[in-house]
Structure 1
Amino acid sequence: MSTGVFLAVLAAAFLHAAWNSLVKLGANKLTAMLILTIVQGCAGLAILLTRPFPTVDWVPWLAMSGAFHAGYKLFLALAYENGDLSRVYPIARGAAPLIVLGSSGIFLSDPLDGRDIVGILVLGAGILGMARGVFGAGEAVALVPLALGSAAMTAGYSIVDGLGARVSGDAVAYVGWLFFLDMALFTPVCLALRGRDVLRADARAWRVGALAATASYAAYAIAVWAMTVAPIALVAALRETSILFAVLIGWLAMGERMDTGKAVAALLIVSGVALTRL
């Protein structure tokens, strides 16, 4: 992985943590996620008007991607209704690279050397360490399966989108289509779960949602592009440094507690990143 790609993925990681923080701050997490999805979908549609129409070989990848992204957002929004950013985010993001690594031998052909694998495992250990204490702290146990469901969806779309973007040969158009399809799938699911009330939001909620959508779109567009020029499992793991950014945002901006466990886990994350770069 080149230095330019490495720095771009780190920037995407920060943007990912930032938009999750904005969703968590919203009064209604599912509504906040829906606003983000609608804005992203409209942005994707606008971009699609400037790109060639996709060929048939894009279709299965885009269909799977839209389903995975919709499932990811649903699990994540429900998890945030049950737990703090500094608990849900590490579990949701931490398990994903390990699932991708376990699947890479089956679905992917990207070369990973021993150092890369060790780096991913250390990074995953640090991220999962961030999630400890759910049971001991008396937090809602429901957040764990919901966050793990989000992680499974993340692993799914990481593999599908990395391969799909390569098949398409146009990462910009691919991302536009996947966010448009995500909106088409996620919106009716939200309406089915919460009815029309899920669409009720004031002007401030839409402004915050639009800001979160901008950060989310940029973060994922960078990640998908990176997956076309670097090993997918390595990019997926490096993206999870967003955990470190999320913990800092939770501590400095949201007043969440920083304890020794979180500090140690953060050091493991940094170590994992270093191993993937040496």
Structure 2
Amino acid sequence: MTLTVFFAVLAAAAMHAAWNALIKMRGDRFASISLTSLGMSLAALPVIPFVEFPGAAVWPFITASLAIHIGYRLFLVMAYEAGDLAQTYPLARGAAPLMTTVGAIFLLAELPTPLAILGIVLLSTGTLLMSFRGGVGLGRLDRRAVGFALTTSIFVAGYTLTDGSGARLAATASSYAAWLFLCDGLVSMAIGFYYRGRRLLPIMKTEWHIGVLTGLLSAASYWIAMWAMTKAPIASVAALRETSILFAMLISVLALREKMTGWRVAAALCIVAGVVALRLG
């Protein structure tokens, strides 16, 4: 992984933590995450005229990703409803790199270097430690929150492998990302209106600016990740992206007033060690 890709993924991680924190702070998270998807579509619109239309071989990946993202957003919202950001976010993200690594090995025949595998394990260990020992009521986990968060991680691994493969197959990562974001926003809003009907309109009117902001952050973050997966091993990029846990920890402590503990510090150090191993690997 080059230095450019490395720092680009770190920037993407910071943006990912920021938009997740904004969703967590909203009163109606289902509506907020629907607006985020719409914001991603709006971010993609100016790019569409300048990228190639995906070929026939690429659309199955986009279609599969759309379906996986629906499940991801559904369980992410339920996880945030059941637990605090410092606990559910690391758990949802922490297990995904290990799943992605296994998937990349068996589905894509992409085997990371031994040092990269060590980095992936350290990152995953740190994020899981932060979740199991870093949340409210040290060590006590809401079973519903755990179930929703772990299910979310399965969807994360699924769309990471799907989109990494699709972006590599497309003419460019930008082409894949732009058309994925455009379609995803339309699908998400259709689902939102199906479940909420006209009740979604007042929320859109009052919180459209939040949706635009979170959409831009989400689109930029994931576009960088997909581009990076065309330049480096998917598993390594997926693991490095989970440094967003560190940014989420800072946000949870500084903005959400969640408690800083020794366990969080230990988990953060473990994540940093994983980052170093990934960079050297």
Instruction: Give TM-score, length-normalised by structure 1.
Output: 0.94
The gaps in structure 1 that reach 5 residues or longer are none
Q: Which residue matches 2:51?
A: 51
* Matched AA of 1:147: A
Deviations 1:51-91 (A, max 9, x none): 23221111111111111122211211121122211111101
The gaps in structure 2 that reach 5 residues or longer are none
Distance in 2 of aligned mates of 1:18 and 1:188? 25
Are the structure 2 counterparts of residues 265 and 231 from structure 1 closer, same or farther at C-alpha, using a change threshold of 3 Å?
same
Q: Which residue matches 1:117?
A: 117
Q: Which residue matches 1:95?
A: 95
CA contact (8 A) 1:120 1:272 kept: yes
Which range moved further: 198-207 or 21-30?
A: 198-207
Match runs of 1:196-275 below 5 Å: 196-201=198-203, 203-275=205-277
Shift of 1:202: 5.9
Distance in 2 of aligned mates of 1:202 and 1:161? 29
Shift of 1:107: 1.2
Distance in 2 of aligned mates of 1:210 and 1:9? 22
Shift of 1:111: 4.0
Distance in 2 of aligned mates of 1:60 and 1:103? 18
Match runs of 1:1-278 below 5 Å: 1-133=1-133, 140-201=142-203, 203-278=205-280
Shift of 1:42: 2.9
Distance in 2 of aligned mates of 1:199 and 1:130? 37
Shift of 1:196: 3.5
CA contact (8 A) 1:16 1:216 kept: yes
Distance in 2 of aligned mates of 1:140 and 1:205? 30
Corresponding residue SS for 1:200: helix
* Matched AA of 1:108: L
CA contact (8 A) 2:87 2:136 kept: no
Deviations 1:2-54 (A, max 9, x none): 11110000000000000101111111111110111112123324422332322
CA contact (8 A) 1:24 1:85 kept: yes
CA contact (8 A) 1:82 1:140 kept: yes
Shift of 1:136: 5.6
CA contact (8 A) 1:37 1:213 kept: yes
* Matched AA of 2:50: T
Are the structure 2 counterparts of residues 223 and 56 from structure 1 closer, same or farther at C-alpha, using a change threshold of 3 Å?
same
Shift of 1:160: 0.8
Shift of 1:241: 0.3
CA contact (8 A) 2:37 2:185 kept: yes
* Matched AA of 2:182: F
Distance in 2 of aligned mates of 1:178 and 1:70? 13
Aligned residues: 278
Shift of 1:200: 3.1
Deviations 1:139-197 (A, max 9, x none): 64311111112111110111111111110021111011111222233233334444442
Shift of 1:135: 9.4
Distance in 2 of aligned mates of 1:214 and 1:189? 20
Shift of 1:199: 4.0
Corresponding residue SS for 2:58: helix
* Matched AA of 1:91: L
The sequence identity of aligned pairs, in percent, is 42
Distance in 1 of aligned mates of 2:174 and 2:40? 13
